[in-house]
Structure 1
């Protein structure tokens, strides 16, 4: 099937198992392929109408972290009429208690964030305590 004939959107690249490739006429789209499309809003909407399977849910979206990005995501979801909950481990950061869940990981549980791939995991021994 030629996508352009149906939705008039262009596939400019594909992700296959974590590898990006430029797309061409011979590019094969497989079940796990993620498409990078280019087109106008109307063309992308046409693509969605033809090929996307939308499953809606009335359950809230869970957002991990109430920093600038987490709050921004929550606002964007609210503008789209979607409910969300922000999980924030620092109770001092809670802005609207109705949309936040205060929680976090248990002490001494490894948690990698940000540039974690450059750090070594914490040792499995418990931290030293002083009296």
Structure 2
């Protein structure tokens, strides 16, 4: 970071043609590529680069098939539904609305409903 004048939270640019997309992904990131550190361009926090990138905010709710009178426990009570909203900081409406459900549920207007046969599939889809 010192060699390229990168400070925490500043904007960094990788010029077109100076990076390669990984043939095999190693993470669950949306973007994953390789580049030489010497090709990174660090922008000083001035003008347009003094603004912070808008945060993406994930709000989620997890529902479990709980036993009456007991707080849900992972080894007894399966996750039956996970609902998500993703919004961009400063925006009024979320740009992602989805529900991952065990087995099936009724359609929900304006929401992408995904149904799975096993709890593991629900959790992996949410990941």
TM-score normalised by length of structure 1? 0.26
TM-score normalised by length of structure 2? 0.26
Higher strand share: 2
Higher helix share: 1
